[in-house]
Amino acid sequence: MTGSNGHGATLAEKLLARAGGLDHVVPGQIVEGKVDLAMMHEQGAQTVAPFHQMGAERVWDPDRVVIAIDHWVPASTEGAAVLHRILRKFAAETHLPHFYDVGNHGICHQILAENGWVVPGDLAVGTDSHTNMLGAMGAFAAGVGPTEMAAVLALGQLWLKVPPTLQVRVRGRFGKGVTAKDLVLRILGEVKTTGATYKAVEFSGPTIAGLSMPERFTICNMTTEMGAKAGMVAPDQTTYDYLAPIAKHPMHPVQPDADAAYERRVDIDVDGMPPMVACPYSPDNVRPLPDVVREHVKVDQVFLGSCTNARIEDLREGAALMKGQRVAPGVRFIVSPASTKIYQQCLDEGIIQTFTEAGAVFTNSSCSACFGGNMGILAPEEVCASSSNRNFPGRMGAKQARIYLLSPAATVAAAIRGELADPREMM
Amino acid sequence: MKDVIEGRVWVLGDDVDTDGIIGGKYLTIIDPDELKKHVFEIALPEFADGARPGDLIVAGENFGCGSSREHAPQAMRAIGVGAVVADSFARIFYRNAINLGIPTIEARGVRALFEKGDTARIEMRAGRVTNLRSGAAVRFPPLPQHLLELLEVGGLVEKVRLELEHRKAAAGAVP
């Protein structure tokens, strides 16, 4: 784990140089970055007041703004209904055409991904912390708060301090039943929740090159849990093939220099790596799943969902394990696809039937149980196995509830056994 | 923003996350006066009832980690938190707090110097936090100029308002 002494630019530095209209930037430098895509979800409702207080009269570029409501869809409380109404009114008044409203909705990051709103070279900002996920496109994508977003809507730019880069190089082949989620949990176990604070995380190496876009979304998504400002993968043919039919604006890909100067380097070999689990109460409290399985951790609820792991590939994998099995007595199994489009695919492929016949509840697309404010809320002392991204105290409801973060396959294994289980034993 | 800030201190540990500052169930609340009733409900349950305007937060590593919710610093501003000093911050919280005009200071070693109820003096430009009970002090690199300016005008809303006014005036000046 040493830094490189090269003089070249990392991917993050290339991206921020482009956003700032500069030839070259160095870590610590402040850049005024032009924004290629701005995304708001419900938290964007809090953008409206500061936008008006700033005296802004128009949005800098309505075609570069996406609104995607996802936390409470359809509105589950009066408060949420008000947030939605504020956003609809704002979109109408400022002529924002790209509003993914109820019926055409999904988790904001998935909406950006599956509709090609972020492309290689972009600087993207969103009002959700997991905006990092879109760095998988070879872009610089970061979360911001709503007041910051108001400034972005008004000016089309924001200041960014160029972060140093942590390079994570991955080699080896996943064994059966081991996934990109297990990889990112393993990395979190090493890097910890503060290991990338203010930094960019750049993933590379032969294993990363072999990952599909959905798998890259999963690993970039959880760089947020490492404290990172952004997580990213340099664009390659996989990126271009994914985006070719859907890209909303022209790509301007950049690559890191071969002699880029990384602040730190972490090397991971996934050969022989078992499935992993993040135990309460932190995403970096990571252990090999088989060790925890031996402790017979009984579960009350299982959640297969969230921006981290509710794409069609995740749900197919889960359904393949679920088929012909039953959800264990006393276990509530909630499955929530990441978008309406994925919901429709599940309908077409019989995935909804597989889950519901097994005794799971297959919900409308939303953030669902992940954040403890909408549905699937945990009571004190309850235990949940979840494919989501955070297990802090109170994250999914009661402070005393215990959340274990797992791959999609491992959540299904837990739903079948009624306790944490190794999905490889069921394949 | 005052150059010297003094206040009574509340102390928190490491990795205070945004769920601990304001839980997910309160995220549909827009009214700051409503929000402030629930501030630190999980991380420091006695705070909301016991806090006085001008009180200071001293915390350990990675303060404000987790989500991008601005509700966290909003609730702290609404209850009148005078400044937040921590060993380190999570980046979105740090940015959100400064954007809202809350003096937010990263001072390595600060957590170890304070106990609940101590009084702290923060010298923004000199870059020093002192415990007025024990006399112990820790230095910190003063905020960069552009962030000091942001705090001086009262936060990002005011800064952008001035910028837009300036642009409008410049456009109007063209004959």
| Residue in A143, A282, A390 closest to B92 by CB | A143
Q: What is the pLDDT, as a whole number, of residue A92? A: 98
B contacts of A69 (beta carbons < 8 Å):
none
Model pLDDT for residues B77-102, shown as the tens digit of each residue = 999 999 999 999 998 999 999 999 99
Q: Is the pLDDT of residue A5 over 70?
A: no
Q: Which of B24, B70, B161 sits opposite A371 (nearest CB)?
A: B24
Residues 6+ apart with CB under 8 A from B50: none
- Cβ <8 Å between A79 and B29: yes
pLDDT of residue B1: 77
pLDDT at B174 (0 to 100): 59
Mapped onto helix, strand or coil, the DSSP state of residue B11 is strand
Q: Which of A144, A147, A371 lies closest to B157 in CB terms?
A: A147
Please report the pLDDT score of residue B112 as a whole number.
98
| CA atoms of A138 and A141, how far apart (whole Å) | 9
Under DSSP, the state recorded for B134 is T
If one counts every other C-beta atom within 10 angstroms of the C-beta of residue B157, the result is 22
B130 in contact with chain A, both atoms CB, cutoff 8 A = no
Interface contact A373-B144, CB threshold 8 A = no
Contacts of A193 in chain B (CB under 8 A): 15, 62, 65
The two tokens of residue A310 are 């509710």
Residues of chain A with CATH 3.30.499.10: 11-268, 276-422
Stated pTM of the model: 0.94
Give the A:B interface size as CB pairs under 8 Å: 133
Identify the pLDDT of residue A2: 43
Chain A hits for B26, CB-CB cut-off 8 Å, are: 373
Contacts of A143 in chain B (CB under 8 A): 68, 92
Convert B42-76 to b/e letters by CB count within 10 Å (16 or more is b): bbbeebeeebeeebbbbbbbbbbbbbbbbbbbbbb
CA distance B88 to chain A (A): 9
Q: Chain A, 198-217: which have a CB under 8 Å from a chain B CB?
A: 198
Across A130-159, average pLDDT: 97
Q: pLDDT tier at A7 (50, 70, 90 boundaries)?
A: confident
DSSP result, A193-246: TTTTTT-EEEEESHHHHT--HHHHHHHHHTTGGGT-SEEEE---HHHHHHHTTT
Q: Is CATH 3.40.50.2300 what the domain over B4-142 is classified as, yes or no?
A: no
Q: So what's the pLDDT on residue B24?
A: 86
Q: Which amino acid is at A265?
A: R
- In this prediction, residues A196-218 reach a mean pLDDT of 97
Suggest the residue from B68, B96, B161 to mutate for an interface test with chain A (most A CBs closer than 10 A).
Answer: B68
Work out the pLDDT band at A209, boundaries 50, 70, 90: very high
Distance CA A269, CA A251 (A): 32
Tell me the per-residue pLDDT of B122-169, one tens digit each, with 9 for 90 and over: 999 999 999 999 999 999 999 988 899 999 999 999 999 999 999 889
Task: With beta carbons under 8 A apart, name residues in chain A contacting B68.
Answer: 43, 127-129, 131, 143-145
Average pLDDT estimate for A183-208: 96
Residues β-bridged to residue A123 = A140
- Residue A168 pLDDT: 98
For B150, name the nearest residue in chain A, comparing CA atoms only: A159
Residues 6+ apart with CB under 8 A from A34: A19, A20, A21, A123, A156, A157
Q: What is the C-alpha separation between A411 and A409, in angstroms, rounded?
A: 5
Q: Do A151 and B160 touch (CB under 8 A)?
A: yes
- Residue-averaged pLDDT of chain B: 93
Alpha carbons A270 and A404: distance in angstroms, whole number:
21
Nearest-neighbour CA in chain A from B159: distance (Å): 8
Contacts of A394 in chain B (CB under 8 A): 19-20, 23-24, 42
Contacts of B25 in chain A (CB under 8 A): 372-373, 377
Chain A CB contacts of B23 below 8 Å: 372-373, 394
In CATH, the number for domain A276-422 is 3.30.499.10
pLDDT in tens, B40-74: 999 999 999 999 999 999 999 999 998 889 999 99
CB-nearest to A127 from B24, B68, B161 is B68
- The ipTM of this complex is 0.88
A307: Cα within 13 Å, side-chain hemisphere: 29
CA distances from B10 to A11, B2, B111 (A): 41, 20, 10
Please judge whether B70 and A147 are an interchain contact, meaning their C-beta atoms are less than 8 angstroms apart.
yes
Could you give the C-alpha distances from A252 to A36, A126, A240, A255, in angstroms and in order? 11, 20, 11, 10
Residue of A nearest to B66 (CA): A225
A306-341: per-residue pLDDT in tens? 999 999 999 999 999 999 999 999 999 999 999 999
User: What's the pLDDT score for residue B172?
Assistant: 81
Contacts of A291 (CB under 8 A, 6+ apart): none
Architecture, CATH, for domain A11-268: 2-Layer Sandwich (3.30)
Strands (E) located in chain B: 4-11, 56-59, 83-86, 104-106, 119-123, 128-131, 137-139
Of the candidates B3, B7, B73, B105, the residue with the CA atom closest to the CA atom of residue A146? B73
Question: Using the beta-carbon criterion (under 8 Å), do B70 and A198 form an inter-chain contact?
Answer: no
pLDDT at A242: 98
Please state, in angstroms and as integers, the Cα–Cα distance from residue A376 to each residue in A48, A280, B78, following that order. 30, 18, 30
- The pLDDT of residue B175 is above 80: no
Could you read off the pLDDT of A159-183 as tens digits, one per residue? 998 999 999 999 999 999 999 999 9
Per CB-CB distance under 8 Å, the chain B contacts of A148 are 95-96, 99, 156
CB contact under 8 A, B90 and A227: yes
User: In this predicted structure, what is the pLDDT of residue A115?
Assistant: 98
Q: Is B100 on the interface with A (CB under 8 A)?
A: yes
**Tens digit of each residue's pLDDT (9 = 90 or more) over A14-28:** 999 999 999 999 998
Express each pLDDT in A91-128 by its tens digit.
999 999 999 999 999 999 999 999 999 999 999 999 99
Which sign does the torsion angle of CA B145, B147, B148, B154 carry?
positive
Q: Which residues of A touch B13 (CB under 8 A)?
A: none
pLDDT at A1 over 50: no
Q: Which of B66, B144, B161 is nearest residue A54 as measured by Cβ atoms? A: B161
